[in-house]
Structure 1
């Protein structure tokens, strides 16, 4: 495993700040941010949605070179194969089985072979992206705990994985999922979830990453609010925990960050942001009844992560 490609997997429930963290980590020396690679096959290869650089996936020079190096070239049938494998092994409902070691990659069964084949596509892509960008480590902000489990369970085919577990106050996450957000890729509204549904997903995803740490996978947890309020200190501490250089962080300052172009295939709309991004504080907008519901459903982990039962404000970018 010494020659495996180093990969930083940014995980957590959507609307928890994973895209912002990836953009900040992507400014560190040697970093190659890729966006949510789990969606590359459908949104990139098939739908030809724009890269973070603004070009359609098929016309992005970076991704064109990655596809040539990793797979010969991007093919719809290869994307279909990976999507079929994903439907077989990369599912949230399979996390308990993966957590208990129920899908051993070294076995000879069909499911073990599917797991190895699925992860092989990712490792080929990660290695090609690092080579094309002349980077030392890649960042995959796919978020899903199920993919992190697959990458960690795939035996000799797996990358050298380190996981960043991003948590955010569940009331703020629920407020975000309940708001209207437009996808810049096509102008369609992003999915909206009721606060109760968000609370259940918040609990399930965060518990899954807690279990992943207990399996011996290197997992570093950070709070989104800390990243916004103490960005330089939090980023330096995170880089040290991950064993990657942080440098002087010249892109941070004046209550925000100066971001360059990133070749990210999917993620929050801010993946397209170039230039100054400011950090701010705003009030939580959930009505009292829904806020109490989310608190009641999530309070054990909410307290474990250092949040108040009665939040005052949330951090935002």
Structure 2
């Protein structure tokens, strides 16, 4: 398996802004990504980033999901946009020797675009977390070290987070009803038994696990090697031991008014995913 990070951001943050790869090197200096670019496009300089941005705006927005989900045939622009991704995936698989590449992009609209690609065996891992925990996380100030400046990760108000949580999770449910293989797991379930969760995920992805494949994983930590994630959470720069713990800080830190707001807006889907509407005890 080869983790690519959030490829949806590769076009701007990496090709254009030359931010840091998960390995620590500038994108333009990373041997892995240079080889991927050469194989996929004859070099990243051949990618028309402005065209990608145009296609992104034209087809890969949450508001486009109903059209993408109900169309009998997708517009040519959808196929053109998906082609950029399939070329990156195929090149990354060849360079890494992996049989599975993992794009951890969180955009549900991108998954709806990719379902139209006949060159992909698309399988979607739908990770769900309690909406109130998500809302609290989006309020925190987190620096983006790859930018080498004062840039911070995007922040949203709890109300905005609640609306996005509903929209994206509903979109992944709709994707499953359109015949795409989707496996849902709750964040809290993963942390309760990471080894069992990864075993199930590997089976879903069609990747047999051999002896020792999960030796990096223990009940309370994971031992991580250097990776080549193009974009994503700053923890992608972590190498070595990463503690695994359930983060319930929101139970104490998210103001009760905001907790009630998110719980009300997301109540039906929280119940559908098995979450209590009353706040759990912090652990």
| TM-score for the superposition, normalised by structure 1 | 0.84
Is the aligned partner of 1:86 residue 2:33? no
- 1:246 Cα deviation after fit: 3.1
Instruction: Provide the residue aligned with 2:265 in structure 1.
Output: 297
Is the aligned partner of 1:223 residue 2:201? no
| Structure having greater relative contact order (Cα 8 Å, sep ≥ 6) | 1
Tell me which of 126, 142, 152 is aligned to 1:165. 126
Is the aligned partner of 1:124 residue 2:87? yes
Q: Distance in 2 between matches of 1:113 and 1:130?
A: 26
Gaps of 5+ in 1: 1-30, 106-111
- Give the alignment of 1:17-96 within 5 angstroms: 31-75=1-45, 78-96=48-66
Partners of 2:219 and 2:244 within 8 A in 1: no
SS at match of 1:115: helix
What are the Cα deviations for residues 167-215 of structure 1, in whole angstroms up to 9, with x where unaligned? 0000100010011111112242222111011000000000000000001
Q: Distance in 2 between matches of 1:313 and 1:79?
A: 47
- Give the alignment of 1:132-281 within 5 angstroms: 132-154=95-117, 156=118, 158-186=119-147, 187-247=150-210, 248=212, 249-281=214-246
SS at match of 1:38: helix
Q: Distance in 1 between matches of 2:219 and 2:123?
A: 30
Q: Distance in 2 between matches of 1:194 and 1:237?
A: 34
Q: Distance in 2 between matches of 1:78 and 1:99?
A: 27
Q: Distance in 2 between matches of 1:53 and 1:241?
A: 28
Q: Distance in 1 between matches of 2:81 and 2:47?
A: 14
Q: Distance in 2 between matches of 1:241 and 1:70?
A: 27
Partners of 2:24 and 2:237 within 8 A in 1: yes
- 1:80 Cα deviation after fit: 2.1
Partners of 1:41 and 1:80 within 8 A in 2: no
SS at match of 1:33: strand
Structure 1, 232-241 or 38-47: larger mean CA deviation: 232-241
- 1:314 Cα deviation after fit: 6.6
SS at match of 1:45: helix
| TM-score for the superposition, normalised by structure 2 | 0.93
Partners of 2:62 and 2:109 within 8 A in 1: yes
What are the Cα deviations for residues 281-305 of structure 1, in whole angstroms up to 9, with x where unaligned? 4432211110010000001110111
Gaps of 5+ in 2: none
